[in-house]
Amino acid sequence: MTTQRDREEGFGLREAFLLGLGLLATLEEETRKKVDQLVKKGAEKEGKGKDYLNELKEREGVRSFEAKLERNLKRLVELAGLATKEDIRRLERRLADMFAKLEEKGGS
């Protein structure tokens, strides 16, 4: 409840609280609208993406398409800095060698 003094000053605690609630409500509404727009755009593009992939497969042949896809995926893995199966196998071999050496030192 605003007091006479608050009204004279022009802005009380209640108004500040209501302002905050209004900002939150507006933010939620705008975010929801934006998400809905993005989902709608994604749904529109989904069909085009499938058509494009099918067209590539037909135009270049399935094997050629799969080879290009594999190259692109490898490039993405490298860019993202992810470990490949070969990286993991190499580390496993190194660990096995290290454990073997430790056992040799401990046993002698």
Helix axis angle, 13-60 relative to 62-80, nearest 10°? Answer: 140
pLDDT tens digit sequence for 76-91: 888 888 888 888 999 9
On the CB side of 5, how many CA atoms lie within 13 Å of its CA?
1
Q: Work out the number of other CB atoms within 10 angstroms of the CB of residue 11.
A: 11
pLDDT tens digit sequence for 19-66: 888 888 888 888 888 888 888 888 877 777 778 777 777 777 777 778
What's the confidence (pLDDT) of residue 17? 80
What's the confidence (pLDDT) of residue 95? 93
pLDDT at 108 exceeding the cut of 60: no
Give me the amino acid identity at 107: G
What's the confidence (pLDDT) of residue 54? 78
What's the confidence (pLDDT) of residue 4? 63
What average pLDDT does this structure show over 66-80?
Answer: 85
- Which pLDDT band holds residue 3 (cuts at 50, 70, 90)? low
Instruction: Give dist(CA 60, CA 55) in Å, integer.
Output: 8
What's the confidence (pLDDT) of residue 62? 74
